[in-house]
Structure 1
Amino acid sequence: MDAAPPLCTEAEIKSLVSDFYDHIRLDEMLGPIFSAHIHNWDEHLGIMERFWSSLLLKTASYQGSPMAKHMRLDHLEAAHFEQWLRLFKQTCAERENLAMGEQALQYAQRIARSFWMNYQFHHNPIKVASDLTLP
């Protein structure tokens, strides 16, 4: 029995990550937040490529704890996570490899919801958490 072909290539992941962060950097809401915290974009993009490769290709090439880094940010709201998702959805829709785009978006939705729920609990543990409106 032949193994199923991979969902995507590393080059497709690199393109997804690069295009997504191009959108982020131009975004009025998210661009300033990312620019204030990312000082070496090449390094960050490499980390994100490994992160998405670990998810989409099961490479286990990412080592890190993104949740802890995001919990240190102040003054985030649901709108920030929802805008992140809108930009990610837009980027996925621009892919030629629609299967990869759909799978990546499913992961992104789960990640955004998880981060938002944890962020709320971390910053205000006595308040009932709100959910995101998924695009």
Structure 2
Amino acid sequence: MSQSPSFPIPDPDLYSEEEIAQLVHTFYAKARKDPSLGPIFEGHVIDWDAHFVQMINFWSAQLRGTSRFRGAPMPKHIALPELSAALFERWLQLFHQTTSELGNPQLEQHANAIANFIAGRLWQGYQMSNYPDRRPVALQIV
């Protein structure tokens, strides 16, 4: 994925691998307990340990510029049944809450910008694939 000009450039000096692992584990602890998101994650993530490794690798690539992530998020999200803007917006709310609690303002700003962008793109792709005859609806990102 190319970096938008508004995205900070990944910098391994600004974020540690430990902070990224904490972000991923803390966020998913919240998401798994969430009444709307939890059942979706629990119904589709078979191996949580592998999922954590994949997500840590993803966020490490985005925030630190590492090259460990291998994956294609779009097809996996498009295949999920009955996603909605409200679910993506809830995901973002929990993500923003998590980043704000970590105590690193640069991490919070950078990770939130990427999460907002990715959620918007995944939701747009989901709508185009699953509802090709409808006009796409944008997420309400707060």
Tell me the TM-score normalized by structure 2: 0.90
**Is 1:131 matched with 2:131?**
no
Counterparts of 1:20-39 in structure 2, within 5 Å, are 20-39=27-46
Matched residue type, 1:13: I
Instruction: Please tell me the residue identity of whatever aligns with 1:99.
Output: Q
Q: How does 1:1-135 map to 2 (within 5 A)?
A: 6-135=13-142
- Residue identity (%): 41
Residues 55-112 of structure 1, C-alpha deviations (whole Å, 9 max, x = no match): 0001011011011111100111100000000000000100111111110000000000
**Paired residue for 2:3?**
none
- Say how many residue pairs are matched: 132
Q: Report if the CA contact (8 A) 2:12-2:63 is conserved.
A: no
Question: SS of the residue aligned with 2:92?
Answer: helix
Please list every run of 5 or more consecutive structure 1 residues that lacks an aligned counterpart in the other structure. none
User: What secondary structure does 1:134 align onto?
Assistant: coil
Structure 2, unmatched stretches of 5+, are 1-10
Structure 2 distance, partners of 1:101, 1:45, is 19
Residues 24-66 of structure 1 show CA distances to partners (whole Å, capped at 9, x for unaligned) of: 0110000000000011111101100000000000101101101
> How far apart are residue 7 of structure 1 and its match?
1.8
> Contact (CA 8 Å) 2:63, 2:110: kept in 1 or not?
yes
What is the RMSD computed on CA atoms of the aligned residues?
Answer: 1.0
**Structure 1 runs (4+) greater than 2 angstroms displaced:** none
